[in-house]
Amino acid sequence: MAQLIQIINGPNLNLLGKRQPEIYGHETLEDVASACTTLGETLGLTCAFFQSNHEGGIIDCIHAARETAAGIVINPGAFTHTSVAILDALNTFEGPVFEVHISNVHKRESFRHHSYVSLRADGVIAGFGTEGYTLALRRLGTLLAQ
């Protein structure tokens, strides 16, 4: 049976493709979902997508994933740099967690250099554009097949 991967996107990522395309590119979140679904099929993974501009919604999604998902891919957006609550929620999840940033946060403002989520993440991908999501998925495919 296919294993479920919960893909979570935080604030402002609903505007992907329209928002600062010079930083985040022209692909939309729907394009990302479609690429992940297609790749997931080849890896035996089913992808569930969630996006919220609200911290509590993301936390509720992580709690639900405890019961349903084998792994999490999360781009917490700006909550990356501020949210102990999302870190705490991720610490309740037992499977692998991968943190994705479309841009290279380390090349940007210093407030983007620190990530609370990295204290939990099993791997971090930054600066690979929207391809970062499928790279994370490939790694989950490898880990979950073991």
**CA 129 to CA 131: how far, in whole Å?**
5
The site that binds ligand DQA (CB under 6 A) totals a number of residues, namely 10
98: closest CA among 53, 55, 39, 141? 141
The answer to whether the annotation marks 88 as part of a ligand binding site is yes
Distances (CA, A) of 3 to 16, 95, 127: 27, 12, 27
Q: Does 15 bind ligand DQA (CB under 6 A)?
A: no
Per DSSP, the three-state class of 117 is helix
Residue number with CB closer to ligand DQA (70 or 125): 125
The answer to whether the annotation marks 81 as part of a ligand binding site is yes
Single out the residue of 112, 122, 129, 139 in contact with ligand DQA (rule: CB under 6 A): 112
At residue 40, what is the residue type?
Answer: G
Q: Which of 24, 26, 54, 133 is catalytic?
A: 24
On whether the CB atoms of residues 10 and 2 are closer than 8 A, the answer is: no
**CA 53 to CA 66: how far, in whole Å?**
21
Binding string to ligand DQA for residues 69 to 108, with x set by CB under 6 A, is what? ------x-xx-x--------------------xxx-x---
101 flagged as catalytic:
yes
120: closest CA among 91, 89, 93? 91
Residue number with CB closer to ligand DQA (43 or 105): 105
Numbered residues of the known binding site for substrate: 75, 81, 88, 102-103, 112
What residue ranges bind ligand DQA (CB under 6 A)? 12, 75, 77-78, 80, 101-103, 105, 112
